[in-house]
Amino acid sequence: MSEGPVILIIDDEAQIRRMLRLSLEAHGYHVKEATTSQEGLQQVAMSRPDLIILDLNLPDRDGLNTLKDIREWSKTPVIVLSVKNSEKDKIDLLDAGADDYLTKPFSMGELLARIRAALRHSIPDGNDGVFITGNLTIDFVRRVVLKNGEEIKLTPTEYSFLKILAQNAGKVLTHNQIIDELWGANSQPDTSYLRVYALQIRKKIEDDPAKPEFLITEPGVGYRLVCR
């Protein structure tokens, strides 16, 4: 039996569960399974998994409400599998607490990459520690950003934007989530402000701002900072 991170699959399709189990165990993960929302919630409480793969179409309760239940008491990373692909569906999932989503059909390579990112994105408490991805370093104590060891000058808002993404590296943050963190829950800045800040940050941290490797746009949804 694998002694790697424990992944709980909540999906009622036996074929999907079998495919996921075989692939995940081959990559060193220990797999638990549940076929309903109720069974899944029980497994989350009992097994304390390191990550949850949640299908939206469950026989006893939809996945979105299952996700909301999980988030009432657990911060375990959740990757949602769904046939839905609209921007609104993705935003609803992320706002409800999903760490990531994949639209069916998906490749196992992509799922494995998303799993690795989700397992990595829990970094030290927001105001301390150092975050490193590729040639980029963010020192939360000194509020300093380095590229190849050289300090990059960011405005306070640019730094805050980048810090929020770094604290959730590998996770998609919606426009509303970022706006709430930057300007408060009652603020109403246009999302175009975020686009401007993202462009400015890319000019400073990316080797080629036109082909970003770190600060990635999720069209119509939000932004993700790649964790390497």
Nearest to 123, CA basis, from 155, 168, 154: 168
pLDDT in tens, 139-184: 887 889 999 999 999 999 999 999 999 988 888 899 989 998 898 8
Confidence of residue 3 (pLDDT cuts 50, 70, 90): low
Question: Could you tell me if 52 and 76 are in contact, meaning their C-beta atoms sit under 8 angstroms apart?
Answer: yes
pLDDT in tens, 96-136: 889 999 988 889 999 998 898 888 764 444 444 788 889 99
Region 75-90: what's the mean pLDDT? 87
Residue 205: the pLDDT is: 96
Structure tokens belonging to residue 149:
């060891």
Nearest to 100, CA basis, from 28, 52, 134: 52
Residue 118: the pLDDT is: 85
Percent of the chain with pLDDT over 90: 60
Contacts of 44 (CB under 8 A, 6+ apart): 8, 52, 70, 74, 76
136-139/144-147 β-pairing? antiparallel
Does pLDDT of 37 surpass 70? yes
Question: Kind and range of the H or E element at 45?
Answer: helix 37-47
Nearest to 136, CA basis, from 205, 217, 198, 202: 205
Confidence of residue 222 (pLDDT cuts 50, 70, 90): very high
> What are the percentages of helix, strand and coil residues in the chain, rounded to 5?
40, 20, 40
Region 33-54: what's the mean pLDDT? 94
Place of tokens 């990316």: 206
pTM for this predicted structure: 0.72
Residue 81: the pLDDT is: 92
Residue 125: the pLDDT is: 43
Question: Could you tell me if 146 and 189 are in contact, meaning their C-beta atoms sit under 8 angstroms apart?
Answer: no
Domains of the chain: residue spans and CATH? 6-120 (3.40.50.2300), 130-225 (1.10.10.10)
